[in-house]
Amino acid sequence: MTETTQSIKQPRATAGGWYEFATRHRASIVAAVILIFPLVMPFTALAVNILIYGLYALGFNLVFGYLGLLSFGHAALFGTGAYLCGIAIVHFGWPWYAAIAAGIAGGLLMALLIGVLAIRTRGIYFAMVTMALSQCVYYLFYQAVDLTGGENGLRGINVRTIDLFGLRIDFINPMIRYYVIAAFVIAAFFVMSRILASPFGAVIEAVRENEMRARASGYDVTLTRLLTFVLSGGFCGLAGALQALHLSIVPIEILHYETSGLVVMIALLGGMGTFFGPMVGAAVFLVLENIVSVWTVHWQLIVGAIFIACVLFFPAGIWGTLIARGKR
Amino acid sequence: MAGLSFDLIALQLFAGLALGAIYVLFAIGLSLIFGMLTVVNFAHGAFYMVGAYVGLYLISIGGNFWICLVAVPIAIGLFGLVVERVLIRPLYGRGIDYPLLLTFGLSYVMVECVRIAFGKTGYPFDTPEVLQGAVDIGVGYFPLYRLFVIAATAVVLLALWLFLEKTSFGLIIRAGARDPQIVRILGVDVSRVWLIVFGIGTAIAGFAGLLAAPLQGVIPEMGGTILAEAFVVTVVGGMGSIGGAVLAGLLVGVVVSMTSLFAPEMAKVSIFALMAIVLIVRPQGFFGRAGLMS
């Protein structure tokens, strides 16, 4: 069984060639799966959604799974990324790559703003403060009608072709669009893998495991938390920017607190604090949504019930449970 | 800014207090539950919403508002008991995030169930006839129903205070909040205390929902908005502090009401600005104990 990082209570497994291999090449494995993924999906649009929400959950998981802080305001980071990317294109006519950079910058900046306030509180307060602040962001974007289109959403993000070193790539073709977005998502997974493998990544987990001990070891716990939250904002901002390019519109609901709740569900479903968890969670969640919404409009009832069952019986999530099984 | 008289400001102040009264009721339930059980009830908004819908249903089958005032808190409180016993109790001792996540999932289920039973669109909720109209309160005419909301809140607060401070069960609750382990050693069944506290908290949420219904109508999503705003109240007042919840709830109500007089488009944002200021100046809130949440 492939294993990435340990879930909270388990010590890092030491034996097993497969495990070592999978851990070392975890980003490459994700890349390989992503590349063949659309070939096995019923339609490409779903695959693109899974990519984007997987990336969003990856960023969220850095804070939730690795740092151990539950944020209920990640919609603000995701949404700001989407809006800034969209605004850069619609109002300023920036090229696509600059717009994506604007989205990432938006995610980072919003995470810094929210983080500076929310990090001042601890424990359970964090979920409440992040949720309240993201609600504030929602109202601000809702009211800035000139810039964001308000209730109607930001329309007119038309990126038809992607120009890359003289190459013109058709962004309308769903398959090509998938691989363009996949390139960014794979790059993000490599960056995430690098962050987690770095000494800083070890500090992040040290803060989660034992704050006092991390502090006693000379690490600045507050700064680590803030930096991690900001980094998470970068990933979510990128996911938001890709979402804006994919949908050609940024709906105001992207900032709604249900978007924050969605990523919490995806991360928990997949397995928090695991490297593959967010992608697995996004895939299972969105495929399930697709199937269930065919025969009932009351998808929220099902998703709520599944989530409750997850919290009660599978707190380690799908991937976390698989890892625990494989280890026995 | 012509026409801004003292009377207008005073009236707006009263309107803010009425709005604040709803926040107070919502937030004391939240605070009570957190203070005893260390559970952040993300479904609190859903209990509030269901309270309004139960009231709507009772009136549609021929009940009146006064019956609802008694029946709604009892019904929602009983429902809260079941939720605590069946869903939340297995999670004690498994980390502070799990009950929060569970109640979050529960709120989805509750909202969707209400949508199935009553439809997605909202309903108006008539103000009871006796409470229609306005009365002169010295600075101008003020809607009678809003005065009633303030009075009802005061009654609930008084009853809660008497219950917590003057009864032996209240003593156990307060002791349980301070140190559940010692209380358990003294032979008290703490889990039963927690069960009842959760029931009381949700009953008050249902009551708040019913009181709010004539002011803003009922829709399935009405709980989500007030939940975020109640978090502001709890952060400003100090988590787990009932006095803090009362003061901060009224303050938030007045701030919303005053900003909507001077800058209506900033009314929603103003309370979050208030929270940001409190977080910077006094992260534990007005009455919160420093380090309680660590």
pLDDT above 60 for A4: no
B153 in reach of chain A (CB within 8 A): no
From the list B96, B98, B228, the residue facing A131 with the nearest CB is B228
Strand residue runs (E) in A201-305: 249-250
Q: What is the mean pLDDT of residues B24-50?
A: 91
Of A89-98, A119-128, A252-261, B282-291, the range with the lowest mean pLDDT is B282-291
- Residue B93's pLDDT is 79
Sorted by where each begins, the domain ranges of chain B are 6-281
Contact of B284 with B237, CB cutoff 8 Å: no
| CA nearest neighbour of A233 among A30, A73, A94 | A73
Tell whether A6 is covered by a domain.
Answer: no
DSSP states of B131-171 as a string? G-SEEE-SSSEEEHHHHHHHHHHHHHHHHHHHHHHHSHHHH
State how far the Cα of A133 lies from the Cα of B2, in Å rounded to an integer.
34
User: Looking at beta carbons, which residues of chain A come within 8 Å of B279?
Assistant: 117-118, 120-121, 129
Residue numbers of the domain that contains A57: 17-327
Q: What is the pLDDT of residue B138?
A: 75
Question: What's the ipTM?
Answer: 0.85
Strands (E), chain B: 134-136, 141-143
Res B252 pLDDT > 70: yes
Q: Which of B66, B69, B64, B30 is nearest to B47 (CA)?
A: B30
Evaluate whether the domain defined by B6-281 bears CATH number 1.10.3470. Answer: yes
Q: What is the pLDDT of residues A276-326, one digit of tens each?
A: 899 999 999 999 888 888 888 888 899 899 999 989 988 888 888 887 777
| C-alpha dihedral sign at A70, A73, A77, A78 | positive
pLDDT for A7 equals: 44
Low-confidence winner among A33-42, A189-198, B177-186 (lowest mean pLDDT): A33-42
Average confidence (pLDDT) over B257-270: 86
pLDDT level of residue B267 (50, 70, 90 thresholds) = confident
User: Cβ of B91 and A311 within 8 Å?
Assistant: yes
Mean pLDDT in residue range A219-228: 94
Give the number of beta-carbon pairs within 8 Å between A and B: 118
pLDDT over 90 (residue A12): no
What are residue B284's phi and psi, to 5 degrees?
A: -85, 0
Cβ-Cβ contacts under 8 Å, A121 against chain B: 235, 279, 283, 293
What pLDDT, in 10s, does the model give residues B38-75? Answer: 888 999 999 999 999 999 999 999 888 899 999 999 99
Distance, in Å, from the CA atom of B14 to the CA atom of A82, rounded to the nearest integer, reads 41
Residue B134 β-bridge partners = B143
Report in angstroms the alpha-carbon separations of A90 from A178, A235, A242, A244, A248. 22, 22, 15, 11, 10
CB-hemisphere CA count at 13 Å for A153?
A: 16
**pLDDT of B292 strictly over 60:** no
Output the pLDDT for position A2. 40
The CB-side HSE value for A57 (13 A sphere, CA atoms) comes to 32
Segment A66-71 shows an average pLDDT of: 92
Q: Looking at the complex, does the CB of residue B118 fall below 8 Å from at least one CB of chain A? A: no
Between residues A207 and B177, which one has the greater pLDDT?
A: A207
For residue A23, give the CATH number of its domain: 1.10.3470
Chain B: give the shortest CA distance to residue A301, in Å: 5
Instruction: State mean pLDDT over B261-286.
Output: 84
Share of chain A above pLDDT 90, in %: 48
pLDDT value of residue A327? 65
Choose, out of B42, B82, B98, B101, the residue to mutate when testing the contact with A (most A CBs < 10 Å). Answer: B101
In B68-107, the residues whose Cβ lies within 8 Å of chain A are: 87, 90-91, 94, 96-98, 100-102, 104-107
Mean confidence (pLDDT) of chain B: 88
Domain count, chain A: 1
Return d(Cα A60, Cα A78) in angstroms, integer.
10
Q: Is A40 left (phi over 0), alpha (psi -120 to 50) or beta?
A: alpha
Q: Which of A143, A82, A151 is nearest to A110 (CA)?
A: A82
- From A248, A243, A232, A165, select the one nearest A195 (Cα to Cα): A232
pLDDT in tens, B74-105: 999 999 999 999 999 988 878 778 899 999 99
pLDDT confidence of residue A26? 82
A261 touches chain B (CB under 8 A): yes
Per-residue confidence (pLDDT) for residue B294, from 0 to 100: 33
**CA B93 to chain CA centroid, nearest Å:** 26
Interface contact B101-A261, CB threshold 8 A = no
Q: pLDDT at position B293, please?
A: 39
DSSP state of B218: B
> Residue B123: helix, strand or coil by DSSP?
strand
**Which pLDDT belongs to residue A328?**
60
* 8 A C-beta contact, residue A314 and residue A269: no
Q: What is the pLDDT of residue B289?
A: 60
Paired tokens of A201: 């990544």
DSSP A149-196: -GGG-EE-----EEEETTEEEESSSHHHHHHHHHHHHHHHHHHHHHHH
Across residues A219-240, what is the average pLDDT? 95
Q: Which residue has the tokens 């019904």?
A: B75
Span B142-176, pLDDT tens digits: 889 999 999 999 999 999 999 988 999 888 888 88
pLDDT for residue A232 is more than 90: yes
Do the chains contact at B108 and A268, CB–CB below 8 Å?
no
pLDDT for A77 equals 96
Question: Is the pLDDT score of A160 beyond 80?
Answer: no
Does A67 have pLDDT greater than 50? yes
Q: Residue A249 carries which DSSP code?
A: E
